[in-house]
């Protein structure tokens, strides 16, 4: 069954700790994205990657880091530098360019991160 899998569904972190959120896709999509969803603020882009071993900062990258070592995986690390990490995090993927430009992004179920 094709799709995007985010894990874990819920994550708790103590202050000062780094945590890593997993995102895996088996859609063979080139591009992957991480968003943060807060009430009243919609979806804000953290990082995105259009190709393996390359990624770009989004609008709110401070306090976050990513890697793209494999096409199907795009983990997000929330570092201790992120001052307000409690949020709902969404991962997405899509194809790029040509006819696939008009294809939408596919989203995972999300991970809810809370600070203890």
| Residues in touch with another protein (CB under 8 A) | 31, 33, 35, 40-45, 48, 50, 56, 58, 90, 92, 94, 96-97, 101-102, 104-105, 107-110
Q: Comparing C-alpha atoms, which of 21, 34, 35 is closest to residue 78?
A: 21
> For residues 55 and 58, what is the distance between their CA atoms, to the nearest angstrom?
9
Q: Provide the CA 65 distance to its chain's centre, in angstroms.
A: 10
For another protein, the closer of residues 14 and 102 by Cβ is 102
Shortest Cβ 105–another protein spacing (Å):
6
For another protein, the closer of residues 21 and 90 by Cβ is 90
Shortest Cβ 83–another protein spacing (Å):
21
Shortest Cβ 75–another protein spacing (Å):
19
For another protein, the closer of residues 30 and 115 by Cβ is 30
> For residues 87 and 14, what is the distance between their CA atoms, to the nearest angstrom?
14
User: Which helix (DSSP H) or strand (DSSP E) does residue 45 occupy?
Assistant: strand 42-51
> For residues 104 and 52, what is the distance between their CA atoms, to the nearest angstrom?
20
């Amino acid at each position: 069954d094709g799709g995007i899998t985010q894990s874990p569904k819920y994550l708790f972190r103590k202050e000062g700790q780094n945590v890593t959120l997993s995102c895996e896709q088996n859609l063979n999509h080139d591009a992957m994205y991480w968003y943060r969803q807060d009430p009243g603020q919609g979806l804000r882009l953290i990082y995105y990657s259009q190709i393996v071993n390359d990624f770009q900062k989004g609008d709110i990258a401070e306090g976050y880091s990513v890697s793209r070592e494999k096409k199907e995986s795009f983990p997000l690390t929330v570092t201790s530098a992120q001052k307000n990490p409690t949020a709902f995090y969404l991962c997405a993927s899509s194809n790029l360019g040509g006819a696939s430009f008009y294809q939408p992004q596919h989203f995972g179920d999300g991970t809810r991160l809370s600070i203890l």
